Structure 1
Amino acid sequence: MTNEKEKINLSALFRIGYGLYVLTTNDGRKDNGCIVNSVMQVTSNPLRVAVCVNKQNYSCGTILETLKMNVNCLSVDATFDVFKRFGFQSGKTVDKFFGETPKRSENGLVVMSEFCNAFISLAVEQTIDLGTHNMFVCSVEEAAVFSDLDTLTYTEYQKNVKPKPVAPKKKSYVCKVCGYVFEGEELPPDFICPICKHDASAFELMK
């Protein structure tokens, strides 16, 4: 009888295509942004877009309270600094737009045109609890295109944007998502990446 674990090669899931986006919100005190990769148009009439957000992200709680968000589509010219700013620190403790006077859409949220090729303003119609994530099914209120550059994909990020890790002398494991390196003989099975919050399955042994 085939072992269940042998039937599921988790590497196959990395072959699913994803774009990368900065989700902008406002909690009533400050603007915030986080990186997401699960955005898709689910219907055309009426026009609806679904967005999945990790519950550990500060933005997730803000969306539950305000029921609105902007999706800013990152383009292929986006730098790693964009990911450090919006993906590797929490809006709970950091003002990611401090000192800036950003553009805004009609819903009052930040619109990012630098390193982005388009934006979409969304109003939440339905929230689906998926355990670790919430899926927000939204109506589209506003949208605009800024450039003809392609949207940055997760694969492009891995190949061309994320810095290549330098292999240390001691045994180490690298996160395939963000590049964080864990040094140690064995990676704990319950280890959670302190940067991107993925579990031990996202790590591979550095060679």
Structure 2
Amino acid sequence: MEQKAFYNLSYGVFILGTKSGDKINACITNTCFQAAANPVRVAISCINQNLTCQMIKESGVFSLSVLDQTCTFDTISRFGYQSGRDADKFADFEHSLDSNGCPYVTSQVCSVFECKVLSSQDLGSHTLFVAEVTDAKVVSTNPPLTYADYQANVKPKKSDTPAPSKKIVAWKCKICGYVYEGSELPADFECPICGHPAEDFEPVYEE
């Protein structure tokens, strides 16, 4: 099977926000689509290892911020390249809360949706949530950011900076935390958990 065939599927880029108890959190996802029109239903997919996924399962609610083409890599990095278990992603970042208490981004987005989960399906690496859209609003007239736009225009190109002199013992996915054991990561390797390519892995050095 040619994994690169899947690169031709169209995706957006979204910030998926939720709450559980007094904690709010969010992550980046590129899988959301409208599944029904009357009443309006959307389906989103979230990595099972993500704290956001766990919190949606607990609360049954989420917000979806549709990123637009003004979005910066700093925003992608804040919500997609660190874990809410280790950092408050919304600290000093402009946001609001919807009627369910879920956080959503108020800049660099073109639309925001408020959703309640109706059902879920464990897909192994991800969980698919089907939700009712209870509110929606347009935030800007900027065109939405697609995953292809992100890869071509937003994501920094791979750096050629020399690595430290310590021995590399493994490679860690910056998106989901999966660890590939070995000193060399194949150039065409894809994360078995989140599907991200080798360029989204960082080296793990010996102690």
Q: Aligned residue for 2:43?
A: 50
Amino acid of the structure 2 residue aligned with 1:112: V
Gaps (5+ residues) in structure 1?
A: 1-7
What displacement does 1:27 show? Answer: 2.0
Q: Aligned residue for 2:166?
A: none
Residue 186 (1) aligns with residue 184 (2): yes
Contact 2:95 2:106 survives alignment (8 Å)? no
Residue 30 and residue 148 in structure 1: after superposition, are their counterparts in 2 closer, same or farther (change >3 A)? Answer: same
Residue 77 (1) aligns with residue 75 (2): no
Gaps (5+ residues) in structure 2?
A: 164-170, 200-207
> Residues of 1 paired with 2:64 and 2:24: CA distance?
14
Q: Aligned residue for 1:202?
A: 197
Q: 12, 15, 31: which one pairs with 2:5?
A: 12
What displacement does 1:167 show? Answer: 3.1
What displacement does 1:47 show? Answer: 1.0
| SS of match in other structure, 2:4 | helix
TM-score by length of structure 2 reads 0.80
What displacement does 1:113 show? Answer: 1.7
Residue 100 and residue 80 in structure 1: after superposition, are their counterparts in 2 closer, same or farther (change >3 A)? Answer: closer
> Residues of 1 paired with 2:4 and 2:59: CA distance?
36
Percent identical among aligned pairs is: 35
Amino acid of the structure 2 residue aligned with 1:139: E
The within-5 A match list for 1:1-207 is: 8-99=1-92, 102-167=95-160, 186-187=184-185, 198=194, 202-203=197-198
Contact 1:30 1:95 survives alignment (8 Å)? no
TM-score by length of structure 1 reads 0.80
1:65-122 CA-to-partner distances (Å, cap 9, x unmatched) read 0000000000001000001100011111211122567322111222212101110011
Contact 1:24 1:70 survives alignment (8 Å)? yes
